[in-house]
């Protein structure tokens, strides 16, 4: 049983362990201050944009589709995509592989445990269980995935089908990311060719998350409000739970659409666009009844590539609003800062 061998002074306790123990209340370390607790019943009347990517390949519809993408990037930094080219069996296999991994014994998963954010493969809980002041109701495994031949040998060997199933999904999402980046850069009036090499050789980090049912979902979160560091995050979810913040700082619940993938703009796009587009602030809420899985494919330019505002988007009316940064800069930042306290992008904004 997963909880065997654990005791109260052990610095690591997974939320899967707490779930198996059937704790009636969340431990105190998970309880958020009242001002940070989630609102679980939100207005669902706001319609979030859904983009049919197949229309990008039809000359008569491409312009309208790009307009929809542009509006979504400006207003929310978020949209859902359907007809994205990744077959449902590949999606279902990835979720099945994630389920099997989190159902492994704690002893098996602990072989991958690490609180070092630079490790290429690491299992953990919360954001970083070793340093978090408040813990979050999440277990995760993260691993680099592109080029897959460089990393897949480091991935979990158990469950036996994990590398195959998660690998097929990771490769398919990498192709989708390139297509999405081409469209988004076009909406900004930027030449995809100028960044094509960096996009094709960039990083892909798969963050596979498990949010077990929580006995008191109104007291805690699966993830605190944050934005992602990279270009785009392509998110697959097994059910609802994601909330995002609109430009009026109002929280919106993202509905679950079978087979759809969620596209979230990251800090690199906000910086590249010189603030025309915003990285989306999002958080994860929990359910008292249902476990939720998500597979976030986080894409960024190569780890040491510095990115700043595109020169084409800078003029007297729109001066440079951000300092340059790289993915490595972000990793160094989160090694010594709590993203629940301050967003990374706020640290690189130029003062007006």
For the stretch 11-41, pLDDT in tens is 688 999 999 999 999 999 999 999 999 987 6
pLDDT tens for each residue of 92-114? 999 999 999 999 999 999 999 98
The C-alpha angle with vertex 181 and arms to 180 and 182, in degrees rounded to 5, equals 90
Rounded to two decimals, what is the model's pTM? 0.91
DSSP string across 45-66: -SPPPEEEGGGGG-HHHHHHHH
Contacts of 350 (CB under 8 A, 6+ apart): 320, 321, 322, 323
226 burial via Cβ count (<10 Å: 0-12, 13-18, 19+): middle
Q: Diameter of the chain by CA atoms? A: 63
Position 8 scores a pLDDT of: 37
Please say whether the beta carbons of 280 and 223 come within 8 A.
no
Is pLDDT of 82 > 70?
yes
Domain boundaries along the sequence of the chain: 32-347
CATH number of 32-347: 2.60.120.330
Question: Average pLDDT, stretch 210-237?
Answer: 95
pLDDT-derived band at 193 (thresholds 50, 70, 90) equals confident
């Amino acid at each position: 049983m997963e909880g065997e061998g654990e005791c109260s002074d052990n610095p690591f306790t997974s939320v899967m362990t707490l779930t198996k123990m059937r704790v009636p209340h969340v431990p105190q370390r998970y309880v958020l201050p009242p001002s940070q607790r989630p609102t679980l019943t939100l207005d669902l009347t706001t319609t979030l944009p859904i983009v049919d990517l197949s229309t990008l390949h039809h000359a008569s519809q491409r312009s309208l589709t790009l307009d929809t993408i542009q509006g979504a990037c400006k207003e929310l930094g978020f949209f859902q995509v359907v007809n994205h080219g990744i077959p449902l069996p590949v999606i279902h296999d990835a979720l099945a592989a994630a389920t099997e991994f989190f159902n492994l014994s704690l002893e098996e998963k602990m072989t991958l445990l690490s609180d070092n954010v630079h490790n290429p493969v690491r299992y953990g809980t919360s954001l970083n269980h070793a340093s978090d002041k408040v813990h979050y109701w999440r277990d995760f495994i993260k691993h680099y995935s592109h080029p897959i031949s460089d990393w897949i040998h480091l991935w979990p060997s158990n469950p036996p089908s994990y590398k195959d199933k998660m690998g097929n999904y990771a490769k398919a999402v990498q192709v989708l990311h390139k297509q999405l980046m081409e469209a988004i850069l076009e909406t900004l009036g930027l030449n995809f060719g100028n960044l094509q090499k960096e996009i094709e050789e960039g990083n892909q980090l798969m963050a596979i998350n498990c949010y077990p049912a929580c006995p008191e979902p109104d007291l805690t979160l699966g993830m605190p409000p944050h934005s992602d560091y990279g270009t785009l995050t392509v998110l697959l979810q097994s059910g609802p739970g994601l909330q995002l913040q609109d430009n009026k700082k109002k929280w919106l619940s993202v509905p679950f659409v079978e087979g759809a993938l969620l596209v979230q703009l990251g800090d690199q796009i906000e910086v590249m666009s010189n603030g025309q587009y915003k990285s989306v602030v999002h958080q994860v809420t929990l359910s008292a009844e249902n476990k939720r899985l998500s597979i976030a494919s986080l894409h960024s330019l190569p780890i040491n590539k510095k990115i700043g505002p595109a020169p084409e988007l800078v003029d007297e009316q729109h001066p440079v609003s951000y300092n340059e940064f790289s993915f490595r800069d972000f990793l160094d930042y989160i090694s010594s800062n709590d993203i629940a306290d301050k967003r990374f992008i706020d640290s690189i904004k130029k003062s007006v």
